[in-house]
Structure 1
Amino acid sequence: MHGVTRNSLIPRELRQQIRTGAIQGQTSGMAPGFVQANLAILPKDWADDFLAFCHVNPKSCPVIGMTQPGDPFLPLLGEEIDLRSDLPGYYVWENGVRVQETTDVSSLWRDDLVGFAIGCSFSFEHALMDAGIRLRHIEEGRNVAIFRSNIPCAPAGRFQGPMVVSMRSMTPADAIRAIQICTRFPNVHGAPVHFGDPAAIGIADLNKPDYGDVVEIRPGEVPVFWACGVTPQAVLQTSKPPFCITHAPGSMLITDLRISEISLF
């Protein structure tokens, strides 16, 4: 990229780099101060049920944008956003089974597909770091650690399943501060759902994440868990829609929306 760092690029420029394949992989730490989003794309006849599921599970699935059937664009979230090509990685699902991983879904697009952008916790990471809270996965260039929990989502229509959570390790004092900071941002998962004993939410081994990367927890630190926008991927494995496209975990849509625009205070 000829000496230009990713953090110096504005979201539109990052999306252009992603679209051409110049940027691949996870997007944590990119576009500080801007909102990132998870993605779920479903046929129209499943979209109403999925929207209802998001409405009753706003912690894990806060919808920040939705397309009309067949429309891959989200102009309210960013200039020329194209859901078919502007994420670094996509998963393709059939009947609840992942059948493909790709960097572009243009060839799979259909006139009946509805796209949902769901707020992502990567969005508030810059606010945590501004407060002096260190985030080891960003320092090490890793994806966040992500786990299926035993916390049940509220069922709606044909959708039901467990909440998925992302984990960041920090000192207890920083965990309290993180709760205070993230409460301001409910549209990107808000405050953590749990911190401390992972077994209390059904996680047996922090060194075996279901998605993402292993992130070390050092002496004096505790694991802090946020509701995660990978939740729909766990839910669709149970609900088995005939066709679905999601983001690959950690590979987000970078929007033009500033995190300050969605802060409660």
Structure 2
Amino acid sequence: MASTAMMSASDPTVRASWTGLEGRLACRDGTIPGSTAGVADGYVQGNLAVFPERLADDFRLFAERNPKSCPVIGESRPGSRAIPDLGLDLDLATDVPGYRIWRNGAVVGERTEVADLWRDDLVAFVIGCSFSFEAALVEGGLPLRHVEMGVRVPMYRTSIPCVPAGPFAGQMVVSMRPLTPAQAIRAVEITARYPRVHGAPVHLARPDLIGIRDLGAPDYGDPVRVGADEIPVFWACGVTPQSVIASARPDFAITHAPGCMLITDRLNAEFAMA
């Protein structure tokens, strides 16, 4: 018989009403087994990228040079599984519902916790997530097709080059949301206020101009329909480090699985510019 927690977690309204801590604890105990979209509305969620300390300076510089794709909102001390600025009861090794394990640039496994893999030399970076500006889009009356369809947002590797730093180099990954031209203009205005969570779109329409051949075949996430009166709108995406890891080929790294974010105690409103 399902537990009360599991039964409650199946209700989108309940999940949305959780605090950041409640959402994080649900991920920790396995109550949220996949995407954190729609969990703890109003609280900042983050992408995760974890590297050996010897690569931390290079990745930090890479993030500084590519702030649209990699807006860092938190960094751990070497070996620590906590970032107090993002949440006091927060464990980087257990509180993401899906982790990817990387060796030499390839994914070698996916897990729901990585406590036994955490080392004294690991440094974790938490990168702002588009879930934060999505809340603002909804408040602005704009539709989110992937939410309507109950799937993950589609994400694509592009031909847009990132500015390299040390071994880290590669192409930007973008997320896509279909909107009418009028809605797209409004979306630019809204998301420009959130530079710490990717900010305004990097491209509108014409996916072929940024190296995307088929909108129906995203590299990450799930495909969504684009209406005849709509254009695809593309935002820089925090999955970019995963594309870069494949190029940099570090001997070891940990990331979140796409769509499976770290839920923090910070509020989206804190990240909005006036």
TM-score, length of structure 1 as denominator length: 0.98
Separation in structure 1 between the aligned mates of residue 132 and residue 54 of structure 2, nearest angstrom: 30
Q: Which residue of the partner structure matches residue 13 of structure 1?
A: 22
The 5 Å alignment of 1:102-117 reads 102-117=111-126
The 5 Å alignment of 1:127-146 reads 127-146=136-155
Q: Which residue of the partner structure matches residue 99 of structure 2?
A: 90
Separation in structure 2 between the aligned mates of residue 46 and residue 126 of structure 1, nearest angstrom: 34
Q: Which residue of the partner structure matches residue 205 of structure 1?
A: 214
Q: Which residue of the partner structure matches residue 250 of structure 1?
A: 259
- Of the three residues 73, 79, 92, the one matched with 2:82 is 73
**Does 1:261 pair with 2:246?**
no
Separation in structure 1 between the aligned mates of residue 244 and residue 203 of structure 2, nearest angstrom: 20
SS at the partner of 1:211?
coil
SS at the partner of 1:148?
strand
Q: Which residue of the partner structure matches residue 248 of structure 2?
A: 239
Separation in structure 2 between the aligned mates of residue 110 and residue 228 of structure 1, nearest angstrom: 27
Contact 1:74 / 1:81 at 8 angstroms: preserved in 2?
A: yes
Q: RMSD of aligned C-alpha atoms? A: 0.9
TM-score, length of structure 2 as denominator length: 0.95
The Cα of 1:68 is off from its aligned counterpart by 0.5
Q: Which residue of the partner structure matches residue 157 of structure 1?
A: 166
Contact 1:155 / 1:161 at 8 angstroms: preserved in 2?
A: yes
Q: Which residue of the partner structure matches residue 223 of structure 2?
A: 214
Contact 2:19 / 2:43 at 8 angstroms: preserved in 1?
A: no
The Cα of 1:29 is off from its aligned counterpart by 2.1
* Unpaired segments ≥5 residues, structure 1: none
The Cα of 1:193 is off from its aligned counterpart by 0.2
The Cα of 1:88 is off from its aligned counterpart by 0.9
Letter in 2 for 1:218: G
**Does 1:51 pair with 2:85?**
no
SS at the partner of 1:26?
coil
1:100-155 C-alpha deviation (Å, 9 max, x unpaired)? 10010001000000000000111111110111101011122210000000000001
Letter in 2 for 1:113: L
How many residues align? The count is: 265
The Cα of 1:246 is off from its aligned counterpart by 0.2
Separation in structure 2 between the aligned mates of residue 126 and residue 187 of structure 1, nearest angstrom: 14
* Unpaired segments ≥5 residues, structure 2: none
Q: Which residue of the partner structure matches residue 39 of structure 2?
A: 30
Q: Which residue of the partner structure matches residue 39 of structure 1?
A: 48
The Cα of 1:256 is off from its aligned counterpart by 0.9
Contact 2:15 / 2:38 at 8 angstroms: preserved in 1?
A: no
The Cα of 1:67 is off from its aligned counterpart by 0.4
Separation in structure 2 between the aligned mates of residue 76 and residue 26 of structure 1, nearest angstrom: 23
Letter in 2 for 1:62: P
Identity of aligned residues (%): 55
